[in-house]
């Protein structure tokens, strides 16, 4: 039979407590070696949490700015892509229209405007795009599409130009309608977006911008020519085709300037992004210097703790195997 004295029982309890404490120490050291961060923050900062609190506040501030930067990057990239889509609809058709108009041949004009309605629809859809539910070109009215649909534009324009018999009359009617009815966004631009303590960016382009309106006016006029909606003599048709082609070419230049302004905003956003990454990295390095563990020391302590635990297991095993004969 086994025999345990009171001293043996006390030793067994003591060994069990020691094993529990040592296992907890091993878990702590393994966690610290894995994360590289001290599990005892109070000891790491010697009880002074002021600097650590300040760094945590900096971390939160920089994270908030990074969210703004990410949104600004997506917003400006979407705007740039939309303007590129509109611009791509202009050059080829403008050049073709001017060449066809110079011949005064109605069949060549018809060929030059083929697909104009589709190009108008593509441009309007691009400008009505949103980012995260916020319309890009609506100014401050981000919950509202900036432009009426292309089909609605053409329906209303066909009615307006139905009685016009001159190129000047058609142009005036189309321009007047666009000036009053095409843009349904806000006249107020978006509020500036804060990207850092000392940098903000403003996105001020809306669907009412002259460059955008000019592009749409001439695309819509080309679409009217395509649909054969006009009651114009051949000479007037040629005049309208020429002015439309010239207008498309001029609008291309205006859109290039608009895209350059978006590019300037994108450059500012990229600068803010780089600065934010640098500051965030600096904060992380500083926090690691405060809370980081000495890996060599921690590894040495872990090895010692594992050796101690093995010793405790050995002692416990030997104690549990003691018999009355062995005791006597």
Q: Say if residues 232 and 243 touch (Cβ distance below 8 Å).
A: no
Query: Token digits for 30?
Result: 């393994």
DSSP bridge partners of 201: 193
Going by C-alpha positions, the residue among 280, 292, 283, 304 that lies closest to residue 35 is: 292
Rounded CA gap, 30 and 265, in Å? Answer: 47
Distances (CA, A) of 268 to 69, 237, 255, 276: 10, 46, 20, 12
Mean pLDDT of 297-308: 63
Cβ contact 217:247 at 8 Å: yes
Q: What is the pLDDT of residues 212-255, one digit of tens each?
A: 999 999 999 999 999 888 889 999 999 999 999 999 999 999 99
In the numeric block, which tokens belong to residue 89? 């609809």
> Which helix or strand (DSSP H or E) is residue 22 part of?
helix 6-35
Distances (CA, A) of 229 to 97, 133, 163, 197: 17, 36, 10, 56
Looking at every residue in the chain, the average pLDDT score rounds to 84
Q: What is the pTM of this model?
A: 0.77
E strand map for the chain: 130-131, 134-135, 193-196, 199-201
Lowest mean per-residue pLDDT among 19-23, 87-91, 92-96, 280-284: 19-23
Burial string for 151-183 (b: 16+ CB within 10 Å, else e) reads eebbeebeebbeebeebebbbebbeebbeeebb
pLDDT at 1: 42
For residue 171, what are its two tokens? 């142009």
- pLDDT tens for 66-115 read 999 999 999 999 999 999 999 988 877 888 999 999 988 889 999 999 99
Which phi and psi (to 5°) does residue 138 adopt? -100, 10
Tell whether the model's pLDDT for residue 163 goes beyond 90: no
CA atoms of 38 and 22, how far apart (whole Å): 18
* pLDDT value, residue 52: 74
List pLDDT tens digits, range 39-63: 555 555 555 567 777 888 999 999 9
């Amino acid at each position: 039979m086994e025999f345990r004295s009171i001293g043996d029982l006390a030793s067994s309890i003591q060994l069990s407590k020691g094993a529990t404490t040592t296992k907890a120490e091993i878990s702590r050291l393994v966690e610290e070696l894995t994360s590289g961060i001290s599990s005892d923050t109070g000891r790491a900062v010697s009880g002074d949490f002021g600097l650590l609190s300040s760094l945590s506040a900096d971390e939160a501030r920089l994270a908030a700015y990074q969210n703004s930067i990410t949104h600004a990057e997506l917003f400006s990239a979407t705007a740039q892509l939309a303007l590129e889509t509109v611009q791509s609809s202009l050059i080829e058709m403008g050049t073709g229209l001017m060449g066809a108009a110079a011949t005064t041949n109605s069949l060549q004009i018809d060929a030059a405007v083929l697909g104009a309605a589709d190009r108008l629809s593509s441009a309007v859809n691009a400008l009505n795009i949103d980012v995260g539910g916020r319309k890009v070109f609506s100014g401050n009215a981000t919950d509202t599409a900036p432009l009426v649909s292309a089909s609605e534009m053409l329906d209303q324009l066909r009615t307006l130009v139905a009685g016009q018999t001159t190129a000047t009359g058609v142009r005036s009617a189309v321009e007047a309608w666009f000036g009053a009815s095409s843009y349904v966004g806000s006249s107020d631009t978006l509020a500036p977006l804060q990207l850092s303590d000392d940098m903000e960016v403003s996105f001020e382009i809306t669907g009412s911008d002259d460059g955008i309106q000019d592009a749409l006016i001439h695309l819509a006029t080309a679409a009217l020519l395509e649909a054969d909606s006009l009651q114009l003599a051949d000479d007037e048709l040629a005049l309208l085709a020429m002015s439309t082609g010239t207008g498309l070419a001029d609008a291309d230049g205006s859109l290039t300037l608009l895209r350059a302004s978006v590019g300037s905003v994108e450059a500012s956003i990229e600068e803010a992004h780089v600065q934010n990454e640098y500051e965030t990295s600096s904060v992380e390095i500083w926090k690691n210097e405060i809370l980081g563990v000495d890996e060599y020391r921690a590894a040495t302590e872990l090895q010692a703790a594992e050796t101690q635990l093995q010793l405790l297991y050995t002692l416990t095993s030997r104690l549990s195997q003691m018999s009355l004969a062995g005791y006597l």
